[in-house]
Amino acid sequence: MNRIGETFLSAGRPLFIAFTVAGDPDFDRSVAAARALIEGGADIIELGVPFSDPVADGPTIQRADCRALGAGMTPEMVFTLVRRIRLFSTVPVVLLTYYNIVHHYGIPRFYRDAGGAGVDGILIADMPVEESGPVMKVAKETGIDQIFMVCETTSPERFERILKNAQGFLYLVSHMGVTGVLTALPPGATALVRSVREKTTMPLAVGFGIATPDHAAGIARAGADAAIAGSAIVAIIEENMDDQECMVDALKKYASSMRNAMNRPGEAGMG
């Protein structure tokens, strides 16, 4: 069991997972953002590896990818950024990436370098479980949790195959489409959590559209083990790029509000 499993096991409450794009808007401010989220209470940091064609992401995260790439971020620099985070925190770090990046870098090398930097889990957003064999082999060798996505259209057969391979937690996609801030919790999100919970005891983390404390509390009440927020965090960074102090303060406050919602899920209303 690595840091992800230990964190879920020891928390005694649902977790808050904070997503940001590595290197957005540049290396130093990205490190500052990660530190602010951790100090605000994020239990796990999820870093997006900047990519030119992030098909699972909406416009907010797409713009962040463009800013990070424009600032010169590469996979090697992402690993350097993780090592920088490791200087001040042992919070689990998960990478969200796309298969093209891993394949081009070299699967064994990518996982070895990620593990050496301090990465605990990797989610390859566009990798079907049916084609995950080479990745799973290296993930197990390096002790990195391979995380998979599950959505409402995942077939029973594919779900069973995912369960046999997934490690760390299952990433439940709250609604069909791409990432982005929603005004209300997607109506199918709680049903998806309850349906998957009947089939496994593996930690369940819900993402896509989760943006407010009410959203987080709602999915916690449904039985989820974690809420993942991304676009709302990236929007804070985007809105405060010219004032790092304001950015850090806003990120700390946001992370604290999300963490508190997971501490007391019964006290917030549905979003």
| Residue of 53, 180, 176 lying closest to 104 (CA atoms) | 53
Other C-beta atoms closer than 10 Å to the C-beta of 244 total 16
Matching residue, tokens 């929603």: 182
Q: What is the DSSP letter of 25?
A: S
Other C-beta atoms closer than 10 Å to the C-beta of 247 total 21
Determine the 3-state secondary structure of 132 from DSSP. Answer: coil
| Residue of 118, 99, 100, 167 lying closest to 139 (CA atoms) | 167
Q: Is 24 a catalytic residue?
A: no
Give the phi and the psi of residue 19 in degrees, each rounded to 5.
-105, 140
Which residue out of 24, 43, 57, 120 is catalytically annotated? 57
Q: Is 242 a catalytic residue?
A: no
Q: Can you state the angle between helices 27-40 and 244-263, rounded to 10 degrees?
A: 30
Which residue out of 24, 43, 46, 120 is catalytically annotated? 46
Whether the bond into 25 is cis, omega within 30 of 0: yes
As annotated, the active-site residues are: 46, 57
